[in-house]
Amino acid sequence: MVVAVTVGTNSNHNDHEDNIEHSRKNHVASTIKAVQNICKPTDFKKECVESLYAEAEARNVTDPKELIKIAFNVTINKIGEKLKETDLMQEVEKDPRSKDAFDTCKKLMDLSIGELTRSLDGIGKFDLQDIDQILMNLKVWLSGAVTYIDTCLDGFENTTTDGGKKMKELLTSSMHMSSNSLAIISDFADTLSHWNTTKIVGRRLLHDSKSTPSWVEHHKLVNANTNTLKQIPNVTVALDGSGDFKSINEALLKVPMKSKKAFVIYIKEGVYREYIEVTKHMTHVVFVGDGGQKTRITGSKNFIDGINTYNTATVAIQGDHFTAINMGFENSAGPHKHQAVALRVQGDKSILFNCSMDGYQDTLYVHAMRQFYRDCTISGTIDFVFGNALSVFQNCKFVVRKPMSNQKCIVTAQGRKERFHPSAIVIQGGSIVSDPAFYPFRFDNTAYLARPWKNFSRTIFMDAFIDDLIHPDGYLPWQTPEGFSGMDTCFYAEYHNYGPGSNKSNRVRWAGIRNLNSKTAHLFAPSKFFHGGDWIQATGIPYFSSIPQHHKHKKTFIKW
């Protein structure tokens, strides 16, 4: 009997251990399957699975939402670790251009972490009634996070030191992980779009049309006229001492941090020779000038003088909900100085109305996030509108200036590096013309609509007047040491344009050149492209939410 009891006890103990082992194997299998499923849409699956599995297994997580949070957290932590490589810092310090790139990189990585953290917070706020807008926000912010890391990589493009090479390797790893997060959210959004959410979305849109953010109250003054904004600004800047300050930088010191109300700075006529940065903590800042040719902010930083492109900007906008009205931004470095940015914008939901941006190469850097330009004039020579924002230009004038004798001119160079980015440059209405000084030389220095700066570059021209300066080919390939790139993977389209340069019959025959029908073209109108344009409409800025039927052969100018 004692033997029997002993045998029975051992048998029960073994069964218990078998059950634990079976349960553990089931748990491991479930975790692996969940991680593999969440990583399925990514382009860097190995890194995705390896970075997620250990954390998910340790925390017993298989829920997709929690796995997404883990993916964001792991990416945030890894980026932070990369910037603490002290040996690397010492190596980079030996070369001035590498040091400049590294210093810029630290700022950009901080911005990237900020966007990933904002996205992580957004994951916890899922509400079916607002799911469409929440997912759009996540895609925009994650796209910004990836773009900032890509800009870090661009900064090391012309460095040859060991420190520069090591930095590229570390940044590539961070880029892959951030890209995976964007891919996961994009796939999640696509999956949800197939659900039958008509009633939910309908209720959300009705709600949006009747409500506006708390900060809009001040912006509604634009509905009246700009003179009203001049009369009741928070501060006034005037070179002659008739305002509160003589410099714009002094005025910016008065901007409350992370405010939800508009802070209006009226900048009187004059040429302001200063470098401006509206930081990420300066939200809802409004610049109001006396006109694009009257109130001008000018600088001359450039690449040839040893400054990386990102840091050449005369004016840099990082704060969300920035608005500029009747302002001029300039980089006067000249075509021989190569990259020289007049205005860099990366604040989400930025609006520029009746402004001018003047320069030569890389005039306007539409770096990241959502941006809307209305009735603006942008001048330059090479890639003079470039970047990876979701940017729409309505009724804007693009003026091609005279380059150096051996240079070609390109209007746009959109920087969409991967297929999951929601970004594009959309030119709706307006015109593409020659500067008077360039006009006699327009057939010698040929001009083009675009070239693919990054592989998935995406630019759409709709309802615009295109003059005869544009070469019949329309587009130039991007040349790298390895050859030409982007011709098969870009997305370039022209829809209902007019003028002597709009004839598409002799355009290049790349796989990336698309023909749009009406249905597809409407996807790039602001209401669809931005997934709602309440943030524009609420300001009173003139705005077409869709593609006006009357716009095909008529330039529409809306005045106060």
Residue type, 378: I
Best CA proximity match to 396, nearest among 558, 220, 223, 531: 558
Strand partners, 339: 361
Alpha helices in 40-95 (DSSP H): 45-58, 64-82, 86-92
Selected residue with higher pLDDT from 381 and 533: 381
What are the structure tokens assigned to 520, written together?
A: 């597809």
Q: Tell me what pLDDT residue 81 has.
A: 75
Tell me the Cα Rg of the chain: 26
Among 179-188, 294-303, 410-419, 492-501, which stretch is predicted with the lowest mean pLDDT?
A: 179-188
What is the C-alpha separation between 267 and 283, in angstroms, rounded? 18
Selected residue with higher pLDDT from 3 and 353: 353
- Residues with Cβ within 8 Å of 38's Cβ and at least 6 positions away in sequence, in order, are 48, 52, 64, 67, 68, 71, 184
Residue with tokens 């590539």: 172
Strand partners, 315: 276, 343
3-state secondary structure 318-385: CCCCCEEECCEEEECCCHHHCECCCEEECCCCEEEECCEEECCECCEEECCCEEEEECCEEEECEEEE
**Contact call for residues 400 and 527 (beta carbons, < 8 A):** no
**Arithmetic mean of pLDDT over the chain:** 86
**Within 10 Å of residue 557's Cβ, how many Cβ atoms?**
10
Q: Is the pLDDT of residue 194 over 90?
A: no
Q: What is the mean pLDDT of residues 61-73?
A: 85
**Contact call for residues 288 and 303 (beta carbons, < 8 A):** no
Q: Is the pLDDT of residue 175 over 50?
A: yes
What is the C-alpha separation between 342 and 362, in angstroms, rounded? 8
Q: What is the mean pLDDT of residues 127-132?
A: 72
Domains (range + CATH), the chain? 22-203 (1.20.140.40)
- Residues with Cβ within 8 Å of 478's Cβ and at least 6 positions away in sequence, in order, are 413, 451, 452, 453, 457, 484, 485, 486
Q: What is the mean pLDDT of residues 4-32?
A: 56
Q: What is the mean pLDDT of residues 286-292?
A: 97
| DSSP state at residue 470 | B
Best CA proximity match to 59, nearest among 48, 67, 51: 67
Contacts for 86-89: CB closer than 8 Å, 24+ residues apart: 88/163, 88/166, 88/167, 88/170
Q: Tell me what pLDDT residue 221 has.
A: 46
CA distances from 16 to 10, 23, 26, 413 (A): 10, 10, 15, 65
Band of residue 173 on the pLDDT scale cut at 50, 70, 90: confident
Q: Tell me what pLDDT residue 353 has.
A: 98
**Within 10 Å of residue 550's Cβ, how many Cβ atoms?**
8
What is the C-alpha separation between 422 and 409, in angstroms, rounded? 27
Band of residue 200 on the pLDDT scale cut at 50, 70, 90: very low
Active site annotation includes 132: no
Band of residue 26 on the pLDDT scale cut at 50, 70, 90: low
Exactly one of 375, 383, 463, 534 is catalytic; name it: 383
Q: Provide the sign of the torsion angle of the four alpha carbons 140, 101, 490, 334, taken in this order.
A: positive
**Contact call for residues 381 and 409 (beta carbons, < 8 A):** yes
Q: Is the pLDDT of residue 297 over 90?
A: yes
Q: Provide the sign of the torsion angle of the four alpha carbons 377, 429, 547, 133, taken in this order.
A: negative
**Contact call for residues 450 and 475 (beta carbons, < 8 A):** yes
What are the structure tokens assigned to 286, written together?
A: 């409004």
Question: How many DSSP H helices and E strands does the chain contain?
Answer: 14, 28
> At CA 503, angle to CA 502 and CA 506, rounded to 5?
130
Among 171-180, 401-410, 461-470, which stretch is predicted with the lowest mean pLDDT?
A: 171-180
Q: Is the pLDDT of residue 5 over 70?
A: no
Selected residue with higher pLDDT from 389 and 93: 389
**Within 10 Å of residue 512's Cβ, how many Cβ atoms?**
20
Between strands 350-353 and 364-366, the pairing is unpaired
